[in-house]
A and B are shown apart, each in its own frame.
Chain A
Amino acid sequence: DIQMTQSPSSLSASVGDRVTMTCRASQRISNHLNWYQQKPGKAPKLLIYAASTLQTGVPSRFSGSGSGTDFTLTISSLQPEDSGTYYCQQSYSTPGFGQGTKLDIK
């Protein structure tokens, strides 16, 4: 199985900050990497698929990059509604998720 490792496990940032979180796969997965946002008590929401393609309706301040084993989710200017937990997920083989990065707004 492919293991997905996210870092950091949690982070706190201020409105307007540029925020970056990373996801590492235990083997090469090309660009088969997706990012989700989950708010407490709600279902996850697809933000980015195929490493860098923004899902319809997702604000352009979200962006994804990477290929192979190392991937990054960036929020260019943090907004209050961006708090939540972010998960990466590999779609190279039967799906697997990272453990999540919890983002708080200072």
Chain B
Amino acid sequence: EVQLLESGGGLVKPGGSLRLSCAASGFTFSDFSMNWVRQAPGKGLEWVSSIYSSGSDIYYADSVKGRFTISRDNAQNSLYLQMNSLRADDTAVYYCVRDNGGGDYAYEFDYWGQGTPVIVSS
């Protein structure tokens, strides 16, 4: 059974940093591209970042470019999101999401974690 378990969310002051983690199991992690998608309270879904299966190719939404860094450790079956210079509008539930395209980008999000909340407030 595919499982994605996020951790690392919490309350942080504006300008602060957080590192989210996602532990993957039930599939060969190194065979799949992975993503972070967020959802602000009462709002819709927003794609944040994608990383290729090997980690060799990365994309970011303009809203987080230069502040967030996605990474992965295929030996540890883990995905990460380092978030710096956090702002109030980064407040959201952050989901770890698998890409259906195998090693390539299909941007078809077939498995989602339960989400971890990030609250940016003074």
A34 to B45, CA, bound (A): 13
Interface size grouping (class) on chain B: 10 to 19
Chain A residues whose CB sits within 8 angstroms of the CB of B26 once the complex forms: none
Pick the contact of B61 from A38, A50, A91, A94 — CB < 8 Å?
A: A94
Tally A-B pairs: CB < 8 A: 54
Chain B residues whose CB sits within 8 angstroms of the CB of A38 once the complex forms: 45
27 cross-chain CB contacts under 8 A: A36-B109, A38-B45, A43-B114, A43-B115, A44-B95, A44-B109, A44-B112, A45-B112, A46-B100, A46-B108, A46-B109, A46-B110, A49-B100, A49-B108, A50-B108, A55-B110, A87-B44, A89-B109, A91-B108, A94-B47, A94-B50, A94-B59, A95-B35, A95-B50, A95-B109, A97-B45, A97-B47
